[in-house]
Amino acid sequence: MSIATSRAQEPQNRLRRIWKVPASRAKWLWLAICLVLSGGIAGWYFYTIKTQEAPGPFDDPLRLFGIVSYVIVIITVSYTLRRRFVRGLPGKVQDWLWLHIWAGITAIIIAMLHENFVFISHEFMQGVSDLTGSDWGGAALFALIFLVVSGILGRFLDIWQTHVIAREASTNGVGIAQSLQERIRELEYTVERLSAGKSEAFKEYCLKALGQKKGGSRLLNTTPELKAYEAADFQSAAETLQQRGRLVRSLRRQTSARQTIRTWRTIHIILAILAVIVILYHGTLELLSNVFHLIPAA
């Protein structure tokens, strides 16, 4: 009796499973560091505004702000290195992800302070020359803004689709996509065994149900003309097909969510490479011309 009770309660326990990523303490550590850094530079900026008549990105300390933002952008790229190329670096990937997020937001704040909010609150862009002037300074600013904003939106999309996968894995009674595929295959074998040696109507029903893209949900509403001795096996096959259809729909939702995440990450990486090239081009030329004086200033 106890064995039967435990088996009856097993599906309910499966439905209560919670699928989530373990929390990362580095989330708050990097946030605190970035808040202190951006807060200190913001205080320095407001002090400069009060003490200097016309501070600009070529004058200190606003020029220093640009160098700091340039260094932070390079630091944000380290997340990609840790995730894809140099996996031997210390710390979890999730810890590096939070560095990537908070450092990116900090970089955009400091970059706007570096430009004294040009193109943001005053001296709005009038033409392409505003983007390409000062060694593509305007283009670098907008590239950084676009990069950070798109990354934040993509992060929300990532969380949303991850919750879709977690909800499906927690409620379908089986789990994630790999387990679903194995279970669906087992159910299909069960249907094939039940239909073996049966009438053509029985076999045709099962084949059509297995072949429908939505798991046979439409066909299951109909009942073929069967022989009396096939009723019990047909009932078992119909229940198996219903279970398979539910799992197929859950697998499709998980697959769609994974594909959405994969597509966004591919687009984000391509756009990030283009944006980083513009930012590095501007920052490198500014360092070589206005800081180290190795090349003439534009």
Q: How far apart are CA 24 and CA 96, in angstroms?
A: 10
pLDDT > 90 fraction of the chain, expressed in percent and rounded: 45
Q: What angle do CA 125, 127, 130 make, to 5 degrees?
A: 60
Domain enclosing residue 228, as ranges: 177-255
Is 237 found in the same domain as 95? no
Is 282 found in the same domain as 160? yes
Task: Tell me, yes or no, whether 129 lies in a domain.
Answer: yes
Quote the number of domains for the chain.
Answer: 2
Residue 7: predicted pLDDT: 39
pLDDT tens by residue, 22-70: 667 888 999 999 999 999 999 999 999 999 888 888 888 999 999 999 9
Task: Tell me, yes or no, whether 267 lies in a domain.
Answer: no
Q: In this structure, what token pair is assigned to residue 84?
A: 């894809």
Residue 258 in contact with residue 181, Cβ under 8 Å? Answer: no
pLDDT at 5 over 50: no
Task: Tell me, yes or no, whether 80 lies in a domain.
Answer: yes
**Up-side HSE of residue 238: CA atoms within 13 Å toward CB?**
14
Residue 9: predicted pLDDT: 42
Secondary structure (3-state) at 75? helix
Residue 133: φ, ψ to 5°: -70, 160
Residue 266: φ, ψ to 5°: -65, -45
Q: How far apart are CA 65 and CA 115, in angstroms?
A: 9
Is 165 found in the same domain as 103? yes
pTM: 0.75
Is 148 found in the same domain as 74? yes
Residue 88 in contact with residue 27, Cβ under 8 Å? Answer: no
Residue 281 in contact with residue 70, Cβ under 8 Å? Answer: no
Identify the CA nearest to 209 among candidates 177, 182, 234: 234
Task: Tell me, yes or no, whether 118 lies in a domain.
Answer: yes
Is 283 found in the same domain as 249? no
Is 185 found in the same domain as 164? no
Identify the CA nearest to 151 among candidates 256, 271, 23: 271
pLDDT tens by residue, 82-116: 777 676 777 788 888 899 999 999 999 999 999 99
Q: How far apart are CA 119 and CA 192, in angstroms?
A: 67
Identify the CA nearest to 70 among candidates 173, 174, 125, 141: 141
Task: Tell me, yes or no, whether 284 lies in a domain.
Answer: yes
Backbone Cα Rg of the chain = 29
Is 247 found in the same domain as 157? no
Residue 218: pLDDT band with limits 50, 70, 90 = low
For 184-214, b/e burial (b = at least 16 CB within 10 A) is: beebeebbeebbeebbeebeebbeebbebee
Could you tell me which residue, 297 or 216, shows the higher pLDDT? 297
Is 207 found in the same domain as 78? no
Which of 58-72, 116-130, 134-148, 215-229 bottoms out in mean pLDDT, i.e. has the lowest? Answer: 215-229
Residue 220: pLDDT band with limits 50, 70, 90 = low
Residue 213: pLDDT band with limits 50, 70, 90 = low
Q: State whether the Cα torsion 48-126-124-40 is positive or negative.
A: negative
Could you tell me which residue, 122 or 279, shows the higher pLDDT? 279
Is 243 found in the same domain as 115? no
Residue 209: pLDDT band with limits 50, 70, 90 = confident
Task: Tell me, yes or no, whether 41 lies in a domain.
Answer: yes
Task: Tell me, yes or no, whether 281 lies in a domain.
Answer: yes
Q: In this structure, what token pair is assigned to residue 179?
A: 């387990």
Task: Tell me, yes or no, whether 108 lies in a domain.
Answer: yes
Residue 292: pLDDT band with limits 50, 70, 90 = confident
Residue 14: predicted pLDDT: 45
Is 163 found in the same domain as 200? no
pLDDT tens by residue, 152-191: 999 899 999 999 999 999 999 999 999 999 999 999 999 9
Alpha helices in the chain (DSSP H): 2-15, 26-51, 62-80, 93-114, 128-171, 177-195, 200-211, 231-286
Residue 73 in contact with residue 283, Cβ under 8 Å? Answer: yes
Residue 298: predicted pLDDT: 62
